[in-house]
């Protein structure tokens, strides 16, 4: 079976052959995949999924690659990117936006228009679909507070609308994360009108603080671990002496111990080893089970 040739014959959209995954993830790690497909629209996505599922070909949806860790041995499957699902409509205080739209770009755009509720998202470099999937958040708020409903493609290739209560949003998780065959196509976000000047002042203040406290100059995927109740993962990691600890090219940031950075030559395996070592040490010393926010892709 020539998977690439078959997919090209489907005429579903752009096909990138044998891509290096590290070029599509914020950690800048990961070997080759069979191909990346960027479907033109919903019908093309359905045709592609039918082919992949009928032929038992491994596949996954990838947003901006800001929360995933691939192995350098590669991904023996097809990666689907919803870059063309990037429509944006603003009707009153409702924002209807495609899954492929960048979250930080959207947050900045609506904030400048004087809508409040998305300030937390201006520093999150994921797509809207990825943010809904993992219930991305910061500053004690998340997508669950602002998403009214989501248009999804079901495992039976039906297009349905799921309301906020159906999405089962909890800290860094959602219905979509537990039901990976449901695919977010579009989200409706409801915001409230505020003072654009005050909103932008808050965003700029937080941006300045992020630059000072986070290693934004290195490839990473943001916070590695969820904060345990009443504590901070970064503080615990510092306490076990792991700030600055390296495995290969992966290093616990000197600036913020809950960030692992790629100092230039890290492999996906380096990052995983470091994460697992931290987890084991924290479990041994404090009997705390640190939960990883990022996803390991096999």
The residues that bridge with 71 in the sheet, in sequence order, are: none
Q: Which of 40, 172, 210, 238 is catalytic?
A: 172
pLDDT in tens, 209-220: 999 999 999 999
Q: Which domain holds residue 157?
A: 88-198
State yes or no: is 246 an active-site residue: no
Q: What is the pLDDT of residue 95?
A: 98
Of the candidates 42, 119, 186, 293, the residue annotated as catalytic is 293
- Kindly name the residue from 66, 174, 220, 223 that is annotated as catalytic: 223
Residue after which a domain boundary falls, among 51, 80, 109: 80
- Is 203 domain-assigned? no
* Residues 103 and 187 placed together within one structural domain of the fold: yes
Please tell me the distance from the alpha carbon of residue 243 to that of residue 259, in angstroms, as a whole number: 9
Contact 125, 66 (CB under 8 A): yes
The pLDDT score that the predictor gives to residue 85 is: 98
Q: What is the pLDDT of residue 169?
A: 98
Residue 126 structure tokens:
């994921």
48 shares its domain with 117: no
Q: Which of 198, 230, 255 is the last residue of a domain?
A: 198
- Both 257 and 187 in a single domain? no
User: Would you state the structure tokens that stand for residue 187, as one six-digit string?
Assistant: 């989200």
pLDDT per residue, tens digit, the chain (298 aa), is: 899 999 999 999 999 999 999 999 999 999 999 999 999 999 999 999 999 999 999 999 999 999 999 999 999 999 999 999 999 999 999 999 999 999 999 999 999 999 999 999 999 999 999 999 999 999 999 999 999 999 999 999 999 999 999 999 998 999 999 999 999 999 999 999 999 999 999 999 999 999 999 999 999 999 999 999 999 999 999 999 999 999 999 999 999 999 999 999 999 999 999 999 999 999 999 999 999 999 999 9
- Shared domain for 192 and 249, answered yes or no, is no
| Residue whose token pair is 């111990």 | 257
CATH classification of the domain holding 151: 3.30.465.10
First CA to last CA distance, the chain: 22
Any catalytic annotation for residue 293? yes
Q: Of 134, 164, 198, which closes a domain?
A: 198
d(CA 155, CA 138): 31
Q: How wide is the angle at C-alpha 122 spanned by C-alphas 173 and 233, nearest 5°?
A: 50
CATH of the domain at 65: 3.30.43.10
172 belongs to the catalytic site: yes
């Amino acid at each position: 079976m020539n998977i690439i040739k078959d997919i090209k014959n489907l005429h579903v959209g752009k096909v990138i052959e044998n891509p290096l995954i590290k070029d599509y993830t914020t950690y800048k790690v990961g070997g080759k995949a069979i191909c990346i497909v960027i479907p033109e629209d919903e019908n093309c996505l359905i045709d592609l999924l039918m082919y992949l599922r009928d032929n038992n070909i491994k596949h996954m949806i990838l947003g901006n690659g800001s929360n995933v860790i691939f192995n350098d041995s590669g991904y023996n499957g097809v990666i689907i990117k919803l870059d063309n699902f990037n429509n944006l409509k603003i009707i009153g205080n409702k924002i209807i936006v495609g899954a492929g739209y960048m979250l930080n770009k959207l947050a900045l755009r609506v904030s400048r228009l004087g809508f409040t509720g998305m300030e937390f998202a201006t520093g999150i470099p994921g797509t809207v679909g990825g943010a809904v999937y993992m219930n991305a958040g910061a500053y004690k708020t998340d997508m669950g507070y602002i998403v009214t409903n989501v248009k999804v493609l079901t495992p039976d290739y039906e297009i349905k609308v799921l309301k906020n209560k159906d999405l089962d949003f909890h800290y860094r998780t959602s219905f979509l994360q537990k039901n990976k065959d449901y695919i977010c196509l579009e989200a409706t976000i409801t915001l409230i009108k505020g003072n654009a000047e005050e909103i932008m002042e808050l965003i700029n203040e937080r941006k300045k603080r992020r630059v000072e406290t986070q290693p934004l100059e290195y490839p990473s995927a943001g916070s590695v671990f969820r904060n345990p109740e009443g504590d901070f993962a970064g503080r615990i990691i510092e306490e076990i002496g792991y700030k600055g600890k390296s495995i290969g090219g992966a290093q616990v940031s000197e600036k913020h111990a809950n960030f692992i950075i790629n100092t230039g030559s890290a492999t996906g395996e380096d990052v995983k080893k470091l994460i697992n070592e931290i987890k084991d040490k924290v479990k041994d010393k404090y009997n705390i089970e640190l939960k990883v926010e990022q996803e390991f892709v096999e």
